[in-house]
Amino acid sequence: MDVLEAILSRRSIRKYTTEPVTDEEVELILQAAMAAPSSGNARPWHFIVIRDHNTMDEVARMHPYAGMLPNAQVSILVCADEKLENHPGRWPQDCAAATENILLAAHGLGLGAVWIGLHPEIDRIPLIRKLFDLPLTVHPLSLVAMGRPNEKKLPPHRFKPERIHYEKW
């Protein structure tokens, strides 16, 4: 699938089959994540690959929008280590770019995935920090649930020309 097709057809998929996601697929997805742009090329990200269903069940119990996790075959926690930043405070943008690359790579490989937001929800972060033993300098941004899709969604039409401005507002 070419890049524009991937971008324009990607959807949030929350229903998965029981067919496993391979280690090779996860590694390709993480390569794509680490190819994302970052402020000052700092690449402050770290990723935790989660296959343990007890852990995913625990996150689903504590997060109001993570109900799909118990059926995911794998999830990836996207974090940033503030000690790796070149420009302090830019880690959310850096990790958001990495998260989008994860979503696009998963879609390109025929997988379904959905972004589960963590940052900046202050009630979710301490629970995630404790569950995954994150150091104090490491901040969770998102969790991506994925698996073989068990639902099909048509590409949305989201282009709104009225929101385009040239030169000035």
Q: Given a cut of 90, is residue 162 above it in pLDDT?
A: yes
- Token pair for 160: 């709104």
Structure tokens at 37: 């742009």
CA distances from 72 to 13, 32, 62, 64, 76 (A): 10, 20, 16, 16, 11
Going by pLDDT thresholds of 50, 70 and 90, the confidence category of residue 155 is confident
Rounded to two decimals, the pTM is: 0.95
Domain positions in the chain are: 3-151
C-alpha–C-alpha distance, residues 62 and 128, integer Å? 9
Segment 22-71, tens digit of pLDDT: 999 999 999 999 999 999 999 999 999 999 999 999 999 999 999 999 99
Nearest-angstrom CA–CA distance, 33 and 97: 8
Domain 3-151 grouped into CATH 3.40.50.300: no
- Averaged pLDDT of the chain: 96
